Amino acid sequence: MTNDVTHTADKTPAETPETTTGRRIYRPLTDIVETADGVTLTLEMPGVAAEDVDITLEKRVLTIRGKVHAMQPEKLQLAYAEYGEGDFERAFTMSDDFDPDKIGAQVSNGVLTLTLPRAADAQPKKITVTAS
């Protein structure tokens, strides 16, 4: 975490079957941090509004999908493109000690933050050893 010039990691297409419309599906860049209470995922999904995010957790597989509404300024033609537009999709296999009802999701400025708290019974319990 330095103050270097920010780099653009190229948008990489997701490893999913191709779409019928020929639209690309991209893999959102993700930061994952684990703390004692759980795991936080931060996914970059520019152009995705909060209501267009779809998150499912099924059999330990956490799938995140984001729909992008194509941005076409009125009366203008695309003259030069450095990035492509397309939906986002990525899946992670999680360890199974998360409480699916307590997963929190929040979108701000095109970044989705997912907080997965550990299930209460999975929290490590410290066992104190008493001297006899």
Partner 1 sequence: MLYPTYTRRSDPFALMRSMLRDFDRASPGHVTQPVFPAVNVWQGDEAVAITAELPGVDPADIDISVKENVLTLSGERKAPEVPEGARWHRNERGFGRFARSVRLPFVAAEDKVEARMTNGVLRIVIGRLEEDKPRKIEIKAA
Contact between 105 and partner 1 (CB under 8 A)? no
Contact between 16 and partner 1 (CB under 8 A)? no
Shortest Cβ 95–partner 1 spacing (Å): 11
Contact between 123 and partner 1 (CB under 8 A)? no
Strand order in the sheet with 12-13: 12-13, 24-27, 86-93, 61-66, 53-58
Look at residues 91, 112, 93, 92 and name the one whose alpha carbon lies nearest to residue 42.
112
Which residue, 71 or 127, is less far from partner 1 as judged by CB?
71
Positions touching partner 1 (CB under 8 A) are 1-11, 29-36, 39, 42, 44-49, 71-73, 75-83, 107, 109-111
